[in-house]
Structures are given as C-alpha cells and as structure tokens.
Chains A and B, each alone.
Chain A
Amino acid sequence: MPISEQTRDGHLLLQLEGGLTIFQAAELKDELLQALAHAEHRIELNLAAVEEIDSAGVQLLLALKHEAASQQKTVNYSHHSPPVLAAIDLLNLAATLGDPLLIPNAR
C-alpha cells in the first residue's frame, strides 16, 4: 500500500511511498478523497518516501489542495523528497505545494 495513515495531534498524517505517477494516480485519488472525508480539519501528507513524480502526481497534489480548501479543510505537504522538490521547482509551484510546516509538532 503506497499510503499509510496515523493520527497525530488530532490531525491526519498520511505517508506517501513509492511512485506518485500516472500509474498510481487513479488509486491514490480515491484514497486521498477518502482520507479527506475522514479528516476533521487538517491532513498532513508526508512526501519523504516519494521516489518518483510526474505531472499526474503534481496535479493530484494540486487538486487535493483545492478540494480541501473548498471543504474548509487544510492539506499540508511536508518532508518533500528530492524528486518532488525538483518537480515543484521546475513548475514553479513552491508557493502552492511548498508548504513549510506551520506547526513544528512537539518532537
């Protein structure tokens, strides 16, 4: 399963693993929709283990963000892996998908 979830500090923490490409996009979309429905306010998506991303993946992240906004929820992306950073950089989407985590979480 490329996605794993746990709850932390009252918000949903999702971990994406492996590819974030057209091959996984359809499946991921459904899972993300579900996760969003479950979440109360905020979802944090940890992208540290994303090994590969293509534009299908990028637009999925964008759409999730929009969708969350329309439901008055927040989606944050964190711990971007190098491939994700490269794509964000190329597409100049740092403002939208960069999401420096606002809450540093008690560690």
Chain B
Amino acid sequence: MKAKVYVTLKEGVLDPQGSAVMGALKSMRFSEVSDVRIGKFMELELDADSKESEERRVTDMCEKLLANTVIENYRIEFE
C-alpha cells in the first residue's frame, strides 16, 4: 500500500519561496498567476493491508514528524 502525504503552509503564513516563484512566473509573462504556495509531497511505501488502521498511523506520523502543525496542514491519500 502507498500513502501520499501533501504538506502545505497554512493560510496567512508567509511563503517567501512561493513569492519568489510567483515573481519569476510573472517575469516570464504568466500574468494570470496571482499566488504561489510551495509545499511538500511525500510518498510512503507501507507494509500494511488495512487502510483504516494505517490512516490512523499515517495521521500520527504527520502530527509527530511529517508536518509542523504550527504552520502547516497535511492531507493523506492512499493507493
């Protein structure tokens, strides 16, 4: 089983990397871009069968290590 974890900055938290990338896109004349937020994407290979119990464990992983919930949100997908 594979878990995909998306970690994104919470709303209102400044993202200087996103701002720099947006500046670059604008200078490349992609003028329709009004905001860029940069996050992290992680793929976890899991030796497990039950999505239900793994959901709890991957949530635990996110809370403890993969995200810093002071500034970040996370989202988990299984496949």
Q: Do A and B bind each other?
A: no
